[in-house]
């Protein structure tokens, strides 16, 4: 049975269109359609209803998905094993959140190269929701980012937790004042874009009772920190990463009546095409992570 046809069928069902499938597989819509037709002839069944204006998976096609997933998983495991033992080249596409890029990512990549010398490593940094979209569409093989514990569609490995705190310029706030959420809500807030876990946790921390006004949003904590240093507002930052800036007086870590909760980070992979290589590298990420509570 042709694995390429099965893979095309799987992604056509998952993504809901032949166009999206062709983009995912770096192919053409006509090639996708041809592979589906060849698979239908091979199996002797109709997999998609091609009524005018729609391409919808049939009940028979839906029933076959669990079997296709198992076949693809087995093929992925075999490829991952070959890559793991160094007898074959491979590729792993990893999406990372900025906090990881600013901390233990270099050690992680160094160790991956040492353990898997023939595996080509691709790293993409983005906001959490963008990374999850990459995992869902198959553009990424693994994501290292905050959250993920309640997402049943991912296989998850804990990476430990990170302490965050509100910070700003010493010229904007007082070092001795203990600020309530309501008082902080009156200050200009600098946050990451709405696709970030950062903004979601800020909204949750303030709750429904405090109305927050965002002074601006950006794509990077480094940029947010720079704006805060300039006295343009307050922002939420990982304490360990910016402790030198606090010690040098460039940033002030605010005291608050309500401590910000530790933010959990996780390695996430999406079945069924998850390879043994991706799972092994997620274990390596937990081993290398310097976050609190991570496996050491």
pLDDT at 245: 95
89-153+265-288 and 164-261: identical CATH topology: yes
235-272 burial string, b = 16+ CB within 10 Å, else e? bbbbebbbeebbeeebbbbbebeeeeeebbbbbbbbeb
pLDDT at 244: 94
Helix segments in the chain, DSSP class H: 3-15, 18-24, 29-43, 59-84, 98-101, 105-115, 128-137, 181-185, 197-206, 221-229, 243-247, 276-288
Low-confidence residues of the chain: pLDDT under 70: 1, 52-54, 76-89, 148-153, 208-214, 272-275, 295-296
pLDDT in tens, 78-123: 665 555 554 445 789 999 999 999 999 999 999 999 888 888 899 9
Top-tier CATH class for 164-261: alpha beta
Q: Which residue has the tokens 């997933």?
A: 69
pLDDT at 11: 84
- pTM score of the predicted model: 0.69
Locate the domains of the chain by residue range: 3-68, 89-153+265-288, 164-261
Domain formed by 3-68, architecture = Orthogonal Bundle (1.10)
Helices then strands, counting H and E runs in the chain, come out as: 12, 14
Q: Which strands make up the sheet holding 214-218, listed edge to edge?
A: 214-218, 189-192, 234-238, 164-168, 252-253
pLDDT at 208: 65
**89-153+265-288 maps to CATH 3.20.20.10:** no
- Give long-range contacts, CB 8 A cutoff, 24+ apart: 213-217: 213/185, 213/188, 213/189, 214/188, 214/189, 214/190, 215/188, 215/189, 215/190, 216/190, 217/190, 217/191, 217/192, 217/193
């Amino acid at each position: 049975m042709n694995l390429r046809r099965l893979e095309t069928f799987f992604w056509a069902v998952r993504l809901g269109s032949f166009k999206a499938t062709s983009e995912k597989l770096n192919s053409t819509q006509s090639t996708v359609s041809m592979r589906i037709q060849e698979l239908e002839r091979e199996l002797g069944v109709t997999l998609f209803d091609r009524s005018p204006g729609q391409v919808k998976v049939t009940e028979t096609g839906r029933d076959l998905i669990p079997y296709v997933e198992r076949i693809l998983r087995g093929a992925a495991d075999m490829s991952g094993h070959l890559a793991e033992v160094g007898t074959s080249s491979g590729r792993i596409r990893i999406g990372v959140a900025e906090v990881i890029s600013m901390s233990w990512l270099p050690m992680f990549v160094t160790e991956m190269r040492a353990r898997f010398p023939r595996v080509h490593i691709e790293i993409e940094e983005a906001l959490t929701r963008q990374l999850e979209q990459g995992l869902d569409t198959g553009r990424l093989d693994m994501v290292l980012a905050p959250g993920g514990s309640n997402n049943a569609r991912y296989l998850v490995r804990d990476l430990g937790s990170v302490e965050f705190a509100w910070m700003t310029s010493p010229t904007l706030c007082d070092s001795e004042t203990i600020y309530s959420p309501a008082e902080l809500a009156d200050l200009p807030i600098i946050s990451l874009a709405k696709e970030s876990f950062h903004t979601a946790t800020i909204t949750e921390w303030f709750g429904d009772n405090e109305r927050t006004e965002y002074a601006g949003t950006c794509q990077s904590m480094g940029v947010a920190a720079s704006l805060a240093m300039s006295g343009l507002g307050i922002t939420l930052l990982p304490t360990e990463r910016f402790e030198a800036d606090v010690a040098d007086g460039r940033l002030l870590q605010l005291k608050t009546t309500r401590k910000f909760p530790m933010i959990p980070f996780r390695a996430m992979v999406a079945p069924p095409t998850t390879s043994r290589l991706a799972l092994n590298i997620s274990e390596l990420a937990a081993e290398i992570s310097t976050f609190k509570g991570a496996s050491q």
